[in-house]
Structure 1
Amino acid sequence: MSTTGKRNRNAGTRLRRHVSVSDVEDGMVLLDEREGRYFKVNASGALILRALIDGASPADAVRALVERYEVSEERAAADVDTLTAELAGNGLVVS
């Protein structure tokens, strides 16, 4: 599935208009179409990003990580925070 500049129903985290994403076998690839740069996230990163751009809250993304990967809530929350900060820092998403 490919998505470009997708806005979610909760107007929380969304892709910037110049960013496209594609699901791949072991994660997700993001393309910054303005800069011509690719970014890849692993399967857990893809789970987080897909949840957020589909309208889930960060807390929902944390729960999904805990359920899927059997990690602690604290670890999952740190992963969600880190990923969203890195993506925002690279100009790929806005919250």
Structure 2
Amino acid sequence: MSFTRHVTVTETEHGMVLLDERSGRYWQLNGTAATVVRLLREGSTVDEVIARLSERHPASAGRVAADVHGLIRALRDAKVFK
């Protein structure tokens, strides 16, 4: 998975900022969302990302899958992630 070509990605101290250069709209991702995006861009599958985050955050393991799928869906709906 990757960003569409009109998206600029900037790493920040606490996550990541995405700028859609076509619309001027931007998104600020927290550290966990940035980790999801990084792992997917590096070639991890969605299931691998979910497993890794569930291990890292066992108290939230029940919500991880829904949150990861929700993030991906939101970025795709905004046409910044493919």
TM-score (norm: length of structure 2): 0.90
Task: Indicate the RMSD between aligned Cα atoms, in angstroms.
Answer: 1.1
Q: Which runs of at least 4 in structure 1 moved beyond 2 Å after TM superposition?
A: 67-71
Structure 2 residue aligned with 1:24: 12
Identity %: 38
**Runs of 5+ unmatched residues, structure 2:** none
Distance 2:56 2:34 in 1: 12
Q: Does 1 or 2 have the higher relative contact order (CA < 8 Å, sep 6+)?
A: 2
| Displacement after TM superposition at 1:80 (Å) | 0.9
| Displacement after TM superposition at 1:56 (Å) | 0.7
How many pairs does the alignment contain? 81
TM-score (norm: length of structure 1): 0.78
1:59 maps onto 2:66 in alignment: no
Instruction: Choose which of 52, 72, 85 in structure 1 pairs with 2:73.
Output: 85
Structure 1 residue aligned with 2:64: 76
Distance 2:33 2:53 in 1: 9
After TM superposition, list the pairs within 5 Å mapping 1:42-53 onto structure 2.
42-53=30-41
Greater percentage in strand:
1
SS for the counterpart of 2:5 is coil
